[in-house]
């Protein structure tokens, strides 16, 4: 990904692998979510604190292409960039295996905000994300 | 979904809910995977046995739309139908909350087969799925 | 277990198995927790509702003996009985593989109640549990 | 813990928290397992490679005392020391919250080795662990 807004290094944990010996599909969503939340923290936004204030950031849609599976002991880089599209904050995300930087996952996750359960524009959040 | 090829009833387990009090995004992939594997079993196909034979059914791409969140104690129906598209087995899946049948999840998962790590046509598997 | 207060049937889901091809240790805690919460519901106690009222049922200590591993597609019975010991509600739990009723897990889980974060006696809860 | 043989720093991921807003009990077993496996790697032992050779390191018994819950964004130190007791490798483990070093978890996990499914002494593994 060119010019990621954020990236972090992670490592596969053995319990994340399933009986095929590779990371289970669902765990990539955990990696992607954790990366988004760590990114939010760098912008001064806490997912947990938002929830306590009655604002729930929720994923409305996700697309994930699985390119190369990660295995036990693999390290990887998880990257993202974000664009604002009306009510949506669109996260473009990639997971790249270390050290060969092979593309493992390409994903797009559309986030929206519910304020007390109602879909809301959340301009304040959007502004923080892109600055 | 009209004419699902398979459906099963499940129930949210509390540990599947996150700090927002709703089922965590990644857990819907668990529900979707479990439903596919239970469907495979009705066709005489075991995911674990395939792996032992050197055949790995893997998801190449998934799209998930999150419509309504499930909560603690919710029961739901998980449905699928499948179509064959070249090397891919395409699973169309829905999760519907009980008893009001509200649509929670609409998903499309493209499965492919790796035989000893190489993408393969797997006609035998495909044939079993649609009969 | 003689005279369980509650039992339910469950089935291993493939994603619960790790690269050894057996259910990952941590997932037995999920089975044990889900069984306790389903038991609580039969007594009119909702874990999620308790939390919303400021009462958190939390496990203070757990002991688990792993006797026989569960594998993909195994069905099993999860049983419990409960005794009250001062501030603690002590759950004795077993997981037995079907159909041979082989003992897989024997566990003891000590539950306590925090009311607004403070350890509390919770006699009302205890009374419901044993009646 | 005095003189841990190994320690590592970790951070709570939001998806590890449940509807009580604290890390779910089962996830501490994930932390404990990951710490053991990272420790094994420093001793030149790979859990995944062992499995491929027909040697399965499995937990026979675990005792966990939950002292203080971890929450979203908490960082923590996970420590262990190991002693050999006949066929068992006994891991003593603690999880301490950062930066106040408050004790969150104290655990004891008895590991045994199955060689092609049969309980075995595994002296080679034991020797590596304590040197």
| Per-residue model confidence as pLDDT tens digits over B51-66 | 888 888 899 999 999 9
Contact assignment for C73 to B46 by CB distance below 8 Å: yes
Angle, vertex CA C40, rays to CA D104 and CA D32, nearest 5: 25
Chain C environment of B72 (Cβ under 8 Å): 46-48
Neighbours of A29 (CB within 10 A): 26
Bridge partners for C64 per DSSP: C107, D62
Contact assignment for B29 to A26 by CB distance below 8 Å: yes
Regarding beta strands D75-85 and D55-66, do their DSSP bridges make them parallel or antiparallel, or are they unpaired?
unpaired
Angle, vertex CA D129, rays to CA D128 and CA D131, nearest 5: 65
Kindly state whether D130 is in contact with chain A, defined as any CB-CB distance less than 8 angstroms: no
Instruction: Report whether C79 contacts C7 (CB < 8 A).
Output: yes
Per DSSP, the three-state class of B33 is helix
Q: What ipTM does this complex have?
A: 0.94
Reported as a single tens digit per residue, the pLDDT across C46-94 is: 888 888 888 888 999 999 999 999 999 999 999 999 999 999 999 999 9
Sequential DSSP letters for A7-43: EEEEE--GGGB-TTSBB-HHHHHHHHHHHHHHHHHHT
> For residue B33, what are its two tokens?
């995977």
What does the alpha-carbon distance between residue C11 and residue B97 come to, in Å, rounded to a whole number? 21
Chain D environment of A15 (Cβ under 8 Å): 30, 33-34
Is the pLDDT confidence value at A112 over 90? yes
Residue C106: per-residue pLDDT: 98
First to last CA, chain B: 19
Q: Which helix (H) or strand (E) holds A124?
A: helix A123-130
> For residue B16, what are its two tokens?
């599947």
What does the alpha-carbon distance between residue C24 and residue C27 come to, in Å, rounded to a whole number? 6
Kindly state whether D26 is in contact with chain A, defined as any CB-CB distance less than 8 angstroms: no
Chain A environment of C15 (Cβ under 8 Å): 18, 24, 26
Kindly state whether C72 is in contact with chain A, defined as any CB-CB distance less than 8 angstroms: yes
What does the alpha-carbon distance between residue A91 and residue A100 come to, in Å, rounded to a whole number? 24
Regarding beta strands B55-66 and B88-98, do their DSSP bridges make them parallel or antiparallel, or are they unpaired?
unpaired
Residue D126: per-residue pLDDT: 85
Residue C85 is a catalytic residue: no
Reported as a single tens digit per residue, the pLDDT across C8-48 is: 999 999 999 998 889 999 999 999 999 999 999 999 998 88
Is the pLDDT confidence value at A41 over 90? yes
Residue A116: per-residue pLDDT: 83
Instruction: Report whether D128 contacts D45 (CB < 8 A).
Output: yes
Reported as a single tens digit per residue, the pLDDT across A60-100 is: 999 999 999 999 999 999 999 999 999 999 999 999 999 99
Q: How confident is the model at residue A127 (pLDDT cuts 50, 70, 90)?
A: confident
Question: pLDDT per position in chain D (131 positions), as tens?
Answer: 999 999 999 999 999 999 888 999 999 999 999 999 999 999 999 888 888 888 888 999 999 999 999 999 999 999 999 999 999 999 999 999 999 999 999 999 999 998 888 899 888 788 888 88
Is the pLDDT confidence value at B131 over 90? no
Residue B20: per-residue pLDDT: 87
Closest chain B residue to the Cα of A27, Cα to Cα: B26
Mean pLDDT of chain B: 93
Which site among B54, B62, B63, B109 would you substitute to test the A interface, given the most A Cβ atoms closer than 10 Å to its Cβ? B62
Question: Cis omega (within 30 of 0) on the bond before A27?
Answer: no
Residue A125: per-residue pLDDT: 84
What does the alpha-carbon distance between residue A54 and residue B33 come to, in Å, rounded to a whole number? 32
Chain D environment of C29 (Cβ under 8 Å): 25-26, 29
């Amino acid at each position: 990904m060119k010019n990621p807004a954020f990236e972090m290094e992670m490592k596969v944990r053995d319990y994340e692998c399933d009986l095929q010996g590779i990371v289970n599909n669902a765990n990539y969503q955990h990696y992607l979510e954790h990366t988004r939340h760590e990114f939010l923290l760098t912008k001064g936004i806490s997912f947990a604190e938002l929830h306590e204030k009655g604002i729930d950031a929720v994923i409305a849609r996700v697309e994930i292409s699985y390119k190369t599976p990660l295995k036990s002991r693999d390290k990887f880089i998880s990257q993202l960039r974000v664009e604002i599209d009306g009510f949506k904050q669109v996260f473009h995300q990639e997971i790249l295996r270390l050290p060969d930087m092979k593309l493992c996952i390409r994903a797009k996750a559309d986030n929206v905000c519910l304020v007390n359960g109602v879909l809301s524009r959340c301009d304040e959040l959007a502004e923080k994300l892109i600055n």
